[in-house]
Each structure stands twice: as C-alpha cells, then as structure tokens.
Amino acid sequence: MITAYGGIELAVKAVRMGAADFVTKPWENDKLLQIIESAYKLSSGRKKAKDKNVNNNKATQKKEDFFEGKSESWQKVLQIINKVAATDANVLITGENGTGKEVAAKKIHQLSNRKDNSMVMVDMGAIVDGLFESELFGHKKGSFTDAKQDRKGKIEEADKGTLFLDEIANMALPMQAKLLTVLQNRTVTRLGENEVRQIDIRLICATNGDLLNMVNNGHFREDLLYRINTIHIEIPPLRERKADIPQFVNYFLLKYSNKYNKSGLTISDSAMDLLLAYNWPGNIRELQHSIEKAVILSDRDKIEPADFMLREVESSKSINQFSGTIEEMEKSLIEDAIVKHEGNMTSVAMQLGITRQTLYNKIKKYDL
C-alpha cells in the first residue's frame, strides 16, 4: 500500500486487507526495493504453500484411484465389495499382513447406506483383556476403580454405522461368547448396569489368521465364525497383484515427495523393474515403507534401484538343507515367523503350533 496520507488507522486497515507493507510518500528508492523484494518472497512462499495444499488434496482425491487396481485378482475382490456394500450383511475380510484389509473395510462403509454415520474401528489385538468389556460395551460410573464417569463402548458408538473389528482372531474365548450374545440379540449392556440398549450396526471383521484352523483347535467359537462370516472376502497378496504395483508406486511417490518437499521426483524404469521383480512378503505396507525410504534417501530428481533396500525373507527352510542343531533350527523358524507376521505373536504362535506363553518363553530363551 503506497499513499501520501499516512495514518495508523489506514495502515492497520491495509494490513488487515492483505497488504505486505505500508509505504508513505515520498519514499526512498533503496528501501522501497527492499520492501518489494520482501513482499515478493512472502507472496512466493504463500503460493508454494497453496500449491502444496492443492497437491495434497489431489493426493487425497486419488485415494479412490489408489484403491482401484487393474489386476484380475483385485477386480474379483472389487466385484464382491460393490455387491455386498449396499447390504447390511456381516463381512469377514482375510489376508496376509499389509494387503489392505482395513482399506477394503473402509471402502465397504463408503459405498454403504451407512456412509453418513460413523465407522468405528477397534484393534482387538491392542485391547488389554481386563478392559475388553469396558472398551466394547462401555461402563457405568463407579463400576470399577477408574470408572469416573459413564462411558459409551465402541459398539454403541457405531450405532447406525459400521463397527470394524480388526484382528478378530486375537479375541479370547470368554470375550467371543459375550460378543456373540451382542450380535445375536442386537443389544448391549454397559459394565456395571442392567439397562439393555438396542444397537443397529453393520459388522466388518478382519484377520490374517486361519479361523477355521482355530475352530478345529478350540481357539475360536464356530458359532461366532458363522455369525461374522456371512460374506467372506480374501484380499490377495501383492505378489499376485503385480499389475497394480506401478499404480501403488506412483501414489506413494506423490504422497511422500509432497511430504518431504521433493516435488517433481520420478522413478527410473530400472527401479520400477526391481519393484516388479521383488516378492513383497510385507505386501502393500512394505511397498509403502520402501517408497518412503527411497524418497528420503534419494538426492537426485529420479529414484534409482540403489535407493531401495529390499531383502527377500525365507519364510521356511528345508530340513535337508539345514546343517545346524535342533535348537538352531527352532530359533530360525521362530525368527522367520516373527518377520513374516510383522511381530503379531498370536499369528506366530498359530503358525508354529504352540501357545503364546510357550512362544514368549522361547523368545526369551533364544534372546530374540
């Protein structure tokens, strides 16, 4: 703002309306040039910030594109999702770690008639056994030591919406029975009170475990499995979706180049070939982390194979090829299982056919 009529009130008004500075006549040329340069830098900074927000919004809008894969195996999954989303049928989503089970659950909710209501997500593996009822069913003030006020449980929070129970295989048997009662009666009773509350939820569950095998071993209730398994969706591993890898790479490349201020970063053909040839034991999650690391480490305009640190994981070793002792073989099997299941000890124990307590004892024994 340049004026011959300087005044505090006018200056304040000009700045409030967006002026970078307030200059009164007559001005000094050197000082005016400095003011103009500062204003230009400020404007450029604002434009970059605005462009970054636009790019971030575009990245957010491309989440739908990120979900829409081209591979035949993924197209079959999409067909099931599109058919089941409009119903209230309970859905069980299975698949290896990192395949996108949570993303599929969110897609079902977004396409459902409940999309305008809440989708409440619960990680069953993260709930301490003693707090299970309080977390899921809620509690009444004074029902236990730390219950300082009435509280809704996750099931009540999901009323009229979708309840997503991730890692359902981690639920203890006594809690499975209580969940089954809720699903059968469509009612919930908070811990410490007698009032029965009606609920209207759509249930989606997910696990990387083998629930049928758990039923046979007595670790999962068969009646609960039938209740949550009206529709079963198996998410294919990334090694069976190689046609979708370039799409994932471009999505994550845009996301992390924006995040780390490396706009314009591309990936070379040889690097893409490397990613297409890799087996991806950690699936999409491993690909995502690999792209993020490569973006951080790259000091060029193009990501090259050397920017990736990929390592194939041997999930099993032939006994005939193993030359060590039995204890060394056992240690190796446990190590491989922990890597394969990304530290999910319930899944590790299930694969090895031992209890979690036995697994923890062996981890301590071998200092893993």
Q: In this structure, is residue 46 part of a structural domain?
A: yes
Residue 91: name the closest of 293, 227, 255 by CA. Answer: 227
Amino acid at 247: Q
Tell me, yes or no, whether 34 and 96 share the same domain.
Answer: no
CB atoms within 10 A of CB 276: 13
Are 246 and 232 in contact by the 8 Å Cβ rule? The answer is no
Looking at the fold, whether 189 and 260 belong to one and the same domain comes out as: no
Q: Which of 32, 61, 90 is the last residue of a domain?
A: 61
Q: Are 84 and 229 in a shared domain? A: yes
CA distances (Å), origin 219, targets 65, 318, 347: 39, 29, 12
- Rounded Cα distance between 283 and 245, Å, is 10
Name the more confident of 349 and 62: 349
Residues 117 and 130 in one domain: yes
Measure Cα distances from 355 to 125, 218, 348, 352 in Å.
16, 12, 9, 9
On whether residue 312 sits in a domain, the answer given is no
pLDDT average, residue stretch 296-319? 72
Alpha-carbon span 315 to 109, nearest angstrom:
34
Max Cα separation, the chain? 93
- The CATH code of the domain that includes 178 is 3.40.50.300
Domain contains 66: no
Interstrand relation of 202-207 and 138-139 (parallel, antiparallel or unpaired)? unpaired
Question: Where among 13, 42, 61 does a domain terminate?
Answer: 61
Examine residue 313 and state whether it is found in any structural domain, yes or no.
no
**Residues 229 and 345 placed together within one structural domain of the fold:** no
Q: What average pLDDT is seen over the chain?
A: 83
**Structural domain of 342:** 319-365
The residue assigned the tokens 């069976």 is 240
Residue that finishes a domain, picked among 260, 277, 307: 307
Whole-angstrom Cα distance, residue 63 to residue 251? 8
- Res. 159: pLDDT tops 50: yes
User: HSE on the CB side for 362, CA within 13 Å?
Assistant: 21
Q: pLDDT tens across 238-258, in order?
A: 999 999 999 999 999 999 999
Structure confidence by residue, pLDDT tens digits, 64-121? 445 667 888 999 999 999 999 999 999 999 999 999 999 999 999 999 999 999 999 9
Between residues 216 and 331, the one the model is more confident about? 216
Q: Which of 193, 110, 125, 128 is nearest to 156 (CA)?
A: 193
Q: Residue 16: its pLDDT value, please?
A: 65
Task: Please report, for the domain that includes residue 323, its CATH number.
Answer: 1.10.10.60
Report the C-alpha gap between 355 and 62 in whole angstroms: 43
Residue 253 lies in a domain: yes
56 and 151 co-located in one domain: no
* Residue 172 in domain: yes
How far, in Å, CA of 269 to CA of 311, rounded? 20
Judge if 273 and 287 occupy the same domain.
yes
Give the tokens for residue 131: 């707090």
Give Cα separations from 301 to 54, 56, 234, 304 (angstroms): 21, 20, 38, 10
Q: Are residues 108 and 185 in the same domain?
A: yes
Which of 56-60, 126-130, 173-177 has the lowest average pLDDT?
56-60
Residues 149 and 86 in one domain: yes
Q: Report the pLDDT value the prediction gives residue 15, as an integer from 0 to 100.
A: 67
Q: In this structure, is residue 261 part of a structural domain?
A: yes
Q: Classify residue 190: in a domain, yes or no.
A: yes
In this structure, the answer to whether residues 333 and 281 fall within a common structural domain is no
Question: Which residues in the chain belong to E strands, given as ranges?
Answer: 2-3, 23-24, 91-94, 119-123, 138-139, 151-152, 162-166, 187-189, 196-198, 202-207, 231-234, 266-267, 302-303
Whether 110 and 89 share a structural domain:
yes
CATH code, 282: 1.10.8.60
CB 105 within 8 A of CB 158: no
Residues 110 and 159 in one domain: yes
What total number of domains does the chain contain?
4
pTM, two decimals, is 0.66
DSSP assignment of 68-106: ---SHHHHHHHHHHHHHHTS---EEEE-STTS-HHHHHH
Cα of 196 vs its chain's centroid, Å: 34
